[in-house]
Amino acid sequence: MKRINGFVEFNELLNVDLETLIERGIVEDFSLNMSKRLVIKIGEKKFVFKECSYVEAITELIVNEMLDIAKRPNIKYDLIHIGDYYGVISKDFNKKGYKYYSGEDLFEDYIKKLPKEADNSKDKEFRSFLLEEYERFSAPFRDKKNNLELIWQVLEDHFREYDNKNEIVRKLMQQLCINHICDMLIYNQDRNSSNWIIEESENDANLVPAFDHGETFKKEYFFTGIIVDPINKKKYETPRIYTEVERFLKRSDKRYYEIFLELKDRLGMDTLKKAIKKVERKIKEPIKDVTKNEIIATFLEHQNNLNIVLEKLTQYQGR
């Protein structure tokens, strides 16, 4: 495949313009807001294109390689130029015989039925509980509900008819917690409730491999991923990532603390540098110096800040 500046030239690959591909049904446009989103059908296979900046596209590839080195499942991306748009492309992870629900889908399904259940309930105390639930889940900031306590609650409701409900929910929560640890370690700040998805069969469910890491390695003040704190109805502030790391490790059992330390070793600076070299081999050219240097500098600062948090916890807990 021909690459220019690291991007696969999809236009030359098929020798047809984007508008013609859409007319022929080979490409489906499902763009949101100003960002281009496309589904590309090639034979029996489907691919998903996401328009993004050069930095975000390179970041997706670097995180792919880092997670591979750490042996963590993830959706693979490549750089691509299609029509007038630059971004990343990945294989569609949907498989026949499975249902797929994002965290946002699960929350919305749960929220919608709360008022109806409250109206139908003859138990005043239970009705009051349901209306309280509706109030806190309907908060204007969706990150409010994207926390581990409420996710567990929503999963238990979603799988309530399954004989092995408890087993499924425990497994999904473990998968979510480990992905949450990886996000905190690599400085990914965009694991909102649309960026995690469960794959469900008739008697089982698993988390779809991690995807959408374009907001990694950025110097931001707030962490917009999954959080450990439940909602405080009087006051809510999205926690900074280091506050979240500290809260998560303080409230987790020893097993997750050990997983955090193990993955921290696997997802450190050496892994980042190896990943950068692998990406440069893949795209057949060096990553732009300004992008590479900024990623390395930000990640180094992040590593130092994580060490400060761990040292604080060690002194506090005597571990």
Give me the CATH number covering residue 43: 3.30.200
Residue 290 domain-assigned (yes or no): no
Residue 154 domain-assigned (yes or no): yes
193 with 210, same domain: the answer is: yes
105 with 246, same domain: the answer is: yes
Tokens at 227, concatenated: 């959080």
31 with 114, same domain: the answer is: no
Residue 315 domain-assigned (yes or no): no
Tokens at 265, concatenated: 């070793």
237 with 131, same domain: the answer is: yes
141-153: per-residue pLDDT in tens? 444 667 888 888 8
Q: Could you write out the three-class secondary structure of 65-89?
A: HHHHHCCCCECCCEEEEECCEEEEE
136 with 242, same domain: the answer is: yes
Three-state DSSP at 14 gives helix
114 with 84, same domain: the answer is: no
Of the three residues 91, 119, 152, the one that is the final residue of a domain is 91
87 with 103, same domain: the answer is: no
CA separation (Å) from 232 to 107, 136, 145?
A: 18, 9, 11
Of the three residues 46, 74, 91, the one that is the final residue of a domain is 91
Give the count of alpha carbons within 13 A of 45, CB side only.
Answer: 6
Residue 187 domain-assigned (yes or no): yes
Of 29, 167, 163, nearest to 85 by C-alpha is 29
41 with 127, same domain: the answer is: no
136 with 211, same domain: the answer is: yes
Beta strands in the chain (DSSP E): 3-4, 7-9, 27-29, 37-42, 45-51, 78-82, 85-91, 99-102, 197-200, 205-207
- pLDDT confidence of residue 268: 96
Q: How many domains does the chain have?
A: 2
29 with 173, same domain: the answer is: no
- pLDDT confidence of residue 234: 46
Residue 244 domain-assigned (yes or no): yes
* Residues 120, 123: Cα–Cα separation, whole Å: 9
Residue 273 domain-assigned (yes or no): no
108 with 235, same domain: the answer is: yes
Residue 196 domain-assigned (yes or no): yes
* Residues 319, 311: Cα–Cα separation, whole Å: 10
116 with 232, same domain: the answer is: yes
Q: Is the pTM of this model over 0.85?
A: yes
* Residues 100, 105: Cα–Cα separation, whole Å: 9
Residue 313 domain-assigned (yes or no): no
- pLDDT confidence of residue 236: 47
- pLDDT confidence of residue 182: 96
- pLDDT confidence of residue 73: 96
Of the three residues 75, 91, 107, the one that is the final residue of a domain is 91
Residue ranges of the chain with pLDDT lower than 70?
126, 130, 133-145, 220-239, 316-319
Q: Which domain holds residue 74?
A: 3-91
- pLDDT confidence of residue 133: 67
- pLDDT confidence of residue 51: 95
